[in-house]
Structure 1
């Protein structure tokens, strides 16, 4: 699959994080704009790339993962408001690359992100 993809793994429960809302923003010098909004499937993945290869242009992007509601739905006991409500991951993409994959490993109290393959 080409373009920009992601998936989320719930480290607290040892499973994919299904039903997590994700927003993708494109940043430029003056402001930012919403590119797309989606929700993860049963495998913790999105059904189509956040950006196709044709849509991907060089620049700064932000993936915004709405993780707080997910852990609330999982019944995780948390303080109010939850420690992690949203996880923002800002990356710089090169338009000439074929594929970027940005996995999120998350618990109610922390996360890790990396460039996958």
Structure 2
């Protein structure tokens, strides 16, 4: 696969994909999301941006972690430790694919550039 941005989220509290978590992808300087939606049953954002070449620049993915756990019935406090989680990253080589695997719980996360 050449180009594109993809995400894959796993809920480590259950050991399952984070199905239905809301995600938005922005290119900084562009006011509207360039991709958005709820994650599939595989924990992926099924959006054409995963196969579409993007421009060089700075991007931000926003994961709505608190809303996801509330929807599952987790008893979160009014101010959850992990709530709306933005992650900024740079795209220099538009020929490469930028895959962002996220492991998440209500108390922490791990995100890196995957292969």
TM superposition score normalised by structure 1: 0.86
**Which structure 2 segments of 5+ residues have no match?**
none
Q: Secondary structure at the match of 2:35?
A: strand
Residue 67 of structure 1: aligned partner? 65
Query: Which structure's residues are more often strand, by fraction?
Result: 1
Structure 1 runs, 4 residues or longer, greater than 6 Å off: none
* Matched pairs, number: 114
Residue 19 of structure 1: aligned partner? 20
Shift of 1:83: 2.1
**Which structure 1 segments of 5+ residues have no match?**
none
CA distance in 1, matches of 2:48, 2:63: 15
Could you say what the CA RMSD is over the residues aligned between the two structures, in angstroms?
1.8
Aligned counterparts, 1:34-113, within 5 A: 34-54=33-53, 56-113=54-111
TM superposition score normalised by structure 2: 0.87
